[in-house]
């Protein structure tokens, strides 16, 4: 079985994820033990404080270094992406194309925590697709469930303007397990991701989450996550031949 983890902070010394190469290798080993064969490295980019040029240089250097270690140690393949923080007017910004998942038109988008999901935010997400020709993947949508406008965000997803993922850690947690079930049953979730940051404080839970989903919602629900992850992986592979 192959499985693509679309959201992981494994680039060494880039953001609040892996602090060094040893930590990055440990995280990849943990993911491999959980059946993950391919990973998208998604370092945070905050448009209000980060320089796009500096970010590109830093992440590319870290990615090149990590790829060398991956080949040497026969670890999961790593592709380069980004977790881009939403900003007002993002749907009209041509600059966001530099933050897509390697070679594709998929963009991992993080919404601000605790802020209302207004009509302008929803329109920005729509514009990412209609104006920029990109496919937004909304990161960990379970986190926004208590925010005003959440139901409208789910409708936007169901209407096909965006895709979304939930965090594996949320699936196996007491606090978010039922919410994740509802989101999966409602058809709002395309991907399951680790969003791992560190072996101790934010470890990956992909295997446990897939087992939990199979137990509660059936093996077919688990298979849907695997199939969708593999379809995205195929697109990445074709784009990077």
What are the residue ranges spanned by the domains of the chain?
4-239
- From the DSSP assignment, how many helices (H) and strands (E) are in the chain? 8, 9
> Under CATH, which number does the domain 4-239 receive?
3.20.20.140
Check residue 1 and give its pLDDT: 78
Per-residue pLDDT reduced to its tens digit, 210-226 = 999 999 999 999 999 99
Q: Is the pLDDT of residue 171 over 90?
A: yes
Report helix, strand or coil for 31: helix
Tell me the per-residue pLDDT of 115-153, one tens digit each, with 9 for 90 and over.
999 999 999 999 999 999 999 999 999 999 999 999 999
- Could you give the C-alpha distances from 185 to 156, 190, 219, in angstroms and in order? 16, 11, 13
- Return the pLDDT at 178: 97
C-alpha distance from residue 131 to each of 90, 161, 199 (Å): 10, 12, 39
Rounded Cα distance between 157 and 146, Å, is 17
Q: Parallel, antiparallel, or unpaired: how do β-strands 44-45 and 83-85 relate? A: parallel
Contact 69, 32 (CB under 8 A): no
Q: How far apart are CA 184 and CA 188, in angstroms?
A: 6
Q: What is the pLDDT of residue 241?
A: 78
pLDDT tens-digit series, residues 89-106:
999 999 999 999 999 999
């Amino acid at each position: 079985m192959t499985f693509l983890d679309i959201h992981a902070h494994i680039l060494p010394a880039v953001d609040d994820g892996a602090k060094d190469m040893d930590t990055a290798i440990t995280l990849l080993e943990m993911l491999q033990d959980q059946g993950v064969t391919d990973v998208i490295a998604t370092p945070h980019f905050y448009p209000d404080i980060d320089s796009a040029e500096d970010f590109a240089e830093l992440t590319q250097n870290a990615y090149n270094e990590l790829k060398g270690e991956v080949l040497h140690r026969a670890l999961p393949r790593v592709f380069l992406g980004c977790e881009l923080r939403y900003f007002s007017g993002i749907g009209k910004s041509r600059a966001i194309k530099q933050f897509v998942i390697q070679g594709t038109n998929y963009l991992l988008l993080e919404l601000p925590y605790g802020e209302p999901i207004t009509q302008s935010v929803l329109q920005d997400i729509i514009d990412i697709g209609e104006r920029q020709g990109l496919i937004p993947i909304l990161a960990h949508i379970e986190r926004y469930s208590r925010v005003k406008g959440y139901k409208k965000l789910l409708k936007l997803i169901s209407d096909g303007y965006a895709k979304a993922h939930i965090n594996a850690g949320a699936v196996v947690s007491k606090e978010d397990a039922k919410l994740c079930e509802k989101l999966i049953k409602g058809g709002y979730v395309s991907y399951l991701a680790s969003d791992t940051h560190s072996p101790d404080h934010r470890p990956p839970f992909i295997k446990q989450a897939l087992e939990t989903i199979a137990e509660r919602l059936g093996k077919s629900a688990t298979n849907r996550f695997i199939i969708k992850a593999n379809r995205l992986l195929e697109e990445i592979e074709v784009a990077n031949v």
